[in-house]
Chain A
Amino acid sequence: MYINNNITSYCTISKNVIYKNEVPVFEDRGADVPSFLLSAYQFLEVTYPKFYKMDNLSKLGWLAAEVLLRGTDIKSYAPEQVGLILTNANASLDSDLKYMESVNDIPSPALFVYTLPNIVTGEICIRNNFKGEDAFFIFEKFDAAFIETYVNNLLNNGILEACICGWVDVLGDDYKAVLFLVEKEEKANSVQFSKKNLNNIFDNLIIDKI
């Protein structure tokens, strides 16, 4: 049985600009990665002290999820109905390098805890009380075909009712996050959950428009 699922919201954070459903909602050009992430957090006008202790990967994914979920009906789902399937190329290497610097001095537990890629998943789950299935896969490049197949499988077999999926990657000055909210029901302005649409959104076709 083939069921059409829908991308009901998407968010891209790249090159110091945040886009929500193709529309740029925030930019801070010229800032370095930590400053940009902090100014983006301030722009959202939320109070979430845990944000300050996160590593860059978690901050990036957390911010993308905040923007992605605003104005959606995500709260209408039970905690175990919502899950996350995230992917990237560099796992937690950005934080691994920082932790390694601390090892020869005093190894830092606050840095070590971020030396796993799926900590960003945990941070998003804590923020939103998501308790469904999560998974983190490592790919050289964004693999829309895999995301489409895997997430359709989770939704169509009743494992999840809504899935946040996509790409969150940081290494040094390079970063990119593209998250998609995928739901069974069609919503206003939703687009079909397909490899083609995932790739179009991921490839920043939107950036060319501004």
Chain B
Amino acid sequence: MPAVYIVADNIYSPIGTTTTQNFERVKQGISGIKKHNDPALSDESVHVSLFNYNESEDNKEFINSKFERLLVSSIKDVLAIADIDATDEKTILIVSSAKGNISLLETDPAAPDLKDRIALHTSAKKVAVHFGFVNQPLVVSNACISGIMAILTGARLLQSGQYENAVVVGADVISRFVLSGFQSFQAISSEPCKPFDENRTGITLGEGAATMILSTNAKYAGKIKVLGGAVSNDANHISAPSRTGKELSDAIERTLSMAGLVPDDIDLISAHGTATSYNDEMEAKAIALAGLSIVPTNSLKGYYGHTLGAAGLIESIISIQSLKQNVILPTLGFEKIGVSSPVNVCTALTPKRLKTCLKTASGFGGCNAAVVFSK
């Protein structure tokens, strides 16, 4: 099968509007997470990573939808730096989101076309038309693994020869709908999240968007590649992760085998690391089962919060920058290990020759995903 190259990428987040800006600021330890006292968002004050600048200036066409503005802003930046033609029939747009335009239920509940405006395929089509994509866009909505799944879907569609380029974009917006739901689960941390830490008390949410352009065109040889990936289901519980981590571990093992790699080949793991008690414990077990306990591992949730359908893309793109710059990022918020299986959690900015990175995620519905990127 042909190799899948990562041609260009963008992160459009509360931390910055380009991948370079995001990576530099994350390296400086800057986080988008702040305490917010906004009654429209939450009755109590809450830590969230929210846009604190006007992300709407030049997207008047999308005035009613912050979600669509985020998609457009992220895609616009990446199309400007990549020599990929959105209007080429060999190019497909793939959109990843958990909740899309759901905040319209709060801001515009009486709109007559509410159902159509909230439908993810409506947003995807509007964005596709805006940039002139000629193929029907594809929409992935599979909880918190959506971003990784969108990358894998893109890679597969390219390898099957159906398309040559895929513009994979993900975004989610944090509003009362999502925040109140996680609060109702008692899953929101009262302070910025502490992935894998013994004193972790839950998730911090965040909003953002990211785009990755994939291509099988041989002219990109030398760029970082998507070597493979896999998805599994726990078949255990719709909102709690597996007790054993076996199913995530299976997805990791299948990913390595597909990529022709062994555990020793992995230089860095970008974990899901949501900082809930159950997720981090399950992930630690899965990492140990897959024979990856000694591999430097980080979670980027301390910088971005959990960005839901954008998380897989944002965190993959940051990890790809780590490969390019040969530097491992620390896990912001982590102090002392608080999981029962050993995980080599990165605590400092560490220069190291890096070739290959594994990215994992898990989500509601019992889903797990893994993908591996390599130089």
Chain A contacts to B: CB under 8 angstroms: 79-80, 83-84, 89-91, 93, 96-97, 99-100, 103, 106-109, 112-113, 115-119, 121-123, 125-126, 128-140, 143, 146, 149-150, 153, 159, 171
Question: Do residues B141 and A138 form an inter-chain contact, with CB atoms below 8 A?
Answer: yes
Chain B contacts to A: CB under 8 angstroms: 98-100, 102, 105-106, 109, 115, 118-122, 124-125, 136, 138-143, 149, 153, 156, 160, 162, 176-177, 180-185, 230-239, 247, 250, 363-367
Question: Do residues B181 and A126 form an inter-chain contact, with CB atoms below 8 A?
Answer: no
Question: Do residues B142 and A97 form an inter-chain contact, with CB atoms below 8 A?
Answer: no
**How far apart sit A103 and B185, CA to CA, in the bound complex (Å)?**
13
A112, A118, A150: which contacts B365 (Cβ < 8 A)?
A: A118
Question: Do residues B156 and A153 form an inter-chain contact, with CB atoms below 8 A?
Answer: yes
Question: Do residues A96 and B102 form an inter-chain contact, with CB atoms below 8 A?
Answer: yes
**How far apart sit A106 and B162, CA to CA, in the bound complex (Å)?**
48
Question: Do residues B238 and A136 form an inter-chain contact, with CB atoms below 8 A?
Answer: no
Q: Which residue of A lies closest to B366 (CB)?
A: A122
21 contacts between A and B (CB under 8 A): A93-B118, A100-B105, A100-B106, A112-B185, A116-B364, A121-B142, A121-B367, A122-B238, A122-B366, A133-B230, A134-B142, A134-B231, A138-B120, A138-B140, A138-B141, A140-B119, A140-B121, A140-B125, A149-B162, A159-B230, A171-B115
**How far apart sit A79 and B232, CA to CA, in the bound complex (Å)?**
10
**How far apart sit A134 and B122, CA to CA, in the bound complex (Å)?**
23
**How far apart sit A123 and B233, CA to CA, in the bound complex (Å)?**
11
B115, B140, B181: which contacts A90 (Cβ < 8 A)?
A: B115
Question: Do residues A119 and B365 form an inter-chain contact, with CB atoms below 8 A?
Answer: yes
Contacting residues, chain A, for B141 (C-beta < 8 A): 91, 116-118, 136-138
Contacting residues, chain A, for B139 (C-beta < 8 A): 137-139
Question: Do residues B234 and A131 form an inter-chain contact, with CB atoms below 8 A?
Answer: yes
Question: Do residues A121 and B181 form an inter-chain contact, with CB atoms below 8 A?
Answer: no
For the complex of A and B, 3 pairs with smallest distance between CB atoms: A122-B365, A112-B181, A107-B184
Contacting residues, chain B, for A96 (C-beta < 8 A): 102, 105, 118, 177
**How far apart sit A97 and B106, CA to CA, in the bound complex (Å)?**
10
Question: Do residues B250 and A137 form an inter-chain contact, with CB atoms below 8 A?
Answer: no
Closest CB of chain B to A46's CB: distance in Å?
Answer: 17
B121, B185, B250: which contacts A139 (Cβ < 8 A)?
A: B121
A125, A134, A146: which contacts B138 (Cβ < 8 A)?
A: A146
Question: Do residues A121 and B233 form an inter-chain contact, with CB atoms below 8 A?
Answer: yes
Closest CB of chain A to B118's CB: distance in Å?
Answer: 6
**How far apart sit A112 and B115, CA to CA, in the bound complex (Å)?**
19
Contacting residues, chain B, for A136 (C-beta < 8 A): 140-142
Contacting residues, chain B, for A146 (C-beta < 8 A): 138
Q: Which residue of A lies closest to B364 (CB)?
A: A116
Contacting residues, chain B, for A134 (C-beta < 8 A): 142, 231, 233, 365, 367
Closest CB of chain B to A39's CB: distance in Å?
Answer: 24
Question: Do residues A123 and B238 form an inter-chain contact, with CB atoms below 8 A?
Answer: yes
Contacting residues, chain B, for A138 (C-beta < 8 A): 119-121, 124, 139-141
**How far apart sit A90 and B140, CA to CA, in the bound complex (Å)?**
13
B119, B231, B233, B365: which contacts A116 (Cβ < 8 A)?
A: B365
Known: A133-B230, A134-B233, A134-B365. 8 other contacts (CB 8 A): A90-B119, A91-B119, A99-B181, A116-B141, A135-B142, A138-B119, A138-B140, A140-B122
Q: Which residue of A lies closest to B186 (CB)?
A: A109
**How far apart sit A157 and B102, CA to CA, in the bound complex (Å)?**
36
Please judge, given known A-B contacts A134-B233, A140-B119, whether A107 and B149 are in contact too, CB under 8 Å. no
Please judge, given known A-B contacts A90-B115, A138-B119, whether A126 and B231 are in contact too, CB under 8 Å. no
**How far apart sit A129 and B102, CA to CA, in the bound complex (Å)?**
31
Please judge, given known A-B contacts A91-B119, A93-B118, whether A108 and B156 are in contact too, CB under 8 Å. no
Contacting residues, chain B, for A106 (C-beta < 8 A): 184
